Structure 1
């Protein structure tokens, strides 16, 4: 047997940031002079030391080593009972090494910090902030959040008013501030407010923020309208002073030239008609003389008119049929939280009239609650599905798409909205939606 070890105190109590110690008595139980190495093993090894770390003992001789524990004031070392072992290693008889076990009961401390990110936001009708709360203590802590406007000019909406924080973790709570009164024009107004964070076992924390309220009308709108009015006045002046007289003169000249052409054509037509009438009368006289020469009586003039010749009509072209029936519809999702990012909940849309073709030209993606995950639009053709569009939910709140080349769904095909929801547990289901516009042919 190489060594024996005895702890002076197997149950120690320590506070974070302070030091405590105990002694271990080492006895050389072997038959030769031996060197023993003493160290601490277990969860407390990172902040425990043995002094001295090695001792030399004659056979049957004993020695005392002091073991010091200095737990840091950090969230990395949780409060509670932490087991440890003091190992005595024999150089001459490694098999005779021993480990003496004990525990350190580490006290708890609370340290919570809070910050408003960003501290100042500008907006005409709203301002979005995020409250960052860090638990730098060594025990779990619950916090409550509230906002206060000393001037009572803002309304606040917190994503949640309570959070549970494990040691060394942080919570981020979204907050929206809205002014109760708005204005179209004027100088910006600064609204200062405070956010209070109340943690269990500590003093309330306060962090301050500012919303800079701007006018509703954009600053560039009035200069743009003035520039547009000046341009319109310039165009009107140009029209009445230059373009309109030129257009009238050109139109007058064109009309006079056209009238001259019409008069000439009418004169030519009248001359031709006179010549044709003379030729017809001469032919009639020649015919009557020929009939009289052979003893026939010429027929009397018939004032009646010959029946009009029948002529075929050109069939009128029918109006083009309407290019489909306009339609619009919405597909909404309610997807459970799923840790598997490759698993999607599907929400299909089936045509009311399965015998017609659906043509999609516009769609609007909506994610009003700011869910986290992935959204896909699929084409289901007889059970064979293909991805038409894929987008991350955290990348948008409202997103418009207008297609130059429309999507066409043949009879029997379906539109499928697929969602993979990765919301935090306290956020609940993912509820994005898609609004479609197009026509049915």
Structure 2
């Protein structure tokens, strides 16, 4: 039996195996260590229990009897004082300097990093998970402080392999995907830095100078160009729009945000995630929307056209339809039964890449059209059929009044339509996707 491990395990459970026992606690008040005394309780005698079980472990038993008696805190006052004297007081007794001198990054360093006792105290984390007091340093905070002092040039981030594609409305139509290989970088090993600083602060005769541990930073994505499968257009769709103030801005910003998105095999593309926060700060504005059957203005108006175009590009490519919501009314700029509205946090347009190849999304808005292309390797054979429009519902003028009334001069009939998509791969058919949509009549509104 490992007596030390059993001692730690029992100490960690004193709160349930004893009463009235409390560990001594050490905290920092600024740079000053403060000891809160522990308390002796009754119940589990850890030392006696460990001794008894070391001598004779009751093999084959479902329960084990532990020795009762005085319950000594896992962290005693003496333990806490020793921790203060040997760890915290030395660590916070003066400045610790981190230098890049003598490393490969020396020429890039602007200056040394001087960690004052106050800075060190703010980064110090005190814990006693197994009944032994320990001090660690917040690796992220320490790393950021040292880099800020040495200069950002001290680190060169690693870059992942990726793809980009031009989304400029003037040149996107002729654009081709561009592969960017991965590259290693150099930087400070945050974990090693924290260990070195802690050691320098607690060594009895140390010079309190730490050489920054420079390491090679490895990229997370190193996939070679020919392993992605991004070779040609597998799905493409465009929808027309008439230039309107606000709407144009949203269409251009929305396609800009979506452009260049990579969707790995098995991943799901979310239009609202790709669009990001829809607000003024992120480049969007107010434009026309339909809310509860009313034509009005709202933040991000027009982005449903981006969603519709995304949906159709994925639908044409054979991607799995995960989520889409048809509009209440049919807008003639969209194919009937193949359009989708979005509302951040409520309604999204999602499709899943169910192929073994990565998909690169290209999107742009210009010359009166929203365009979305999907670049990958052909996988599905796709046929889409739009059924007849049936069950027409006439529209009628609605007369309303009051401050909330918004006049609307439209007027289109409602109807039902069914769209069927068939997919196959290597001659094997998948179940059909049948989309049945019932559009309401779009009534003109007259306000008085």
TM tier, smaller = under 0.3
Higher Cα Rg: structure 1 or 2?
A: 1
- TM normalised by structure 2 equals 0.21
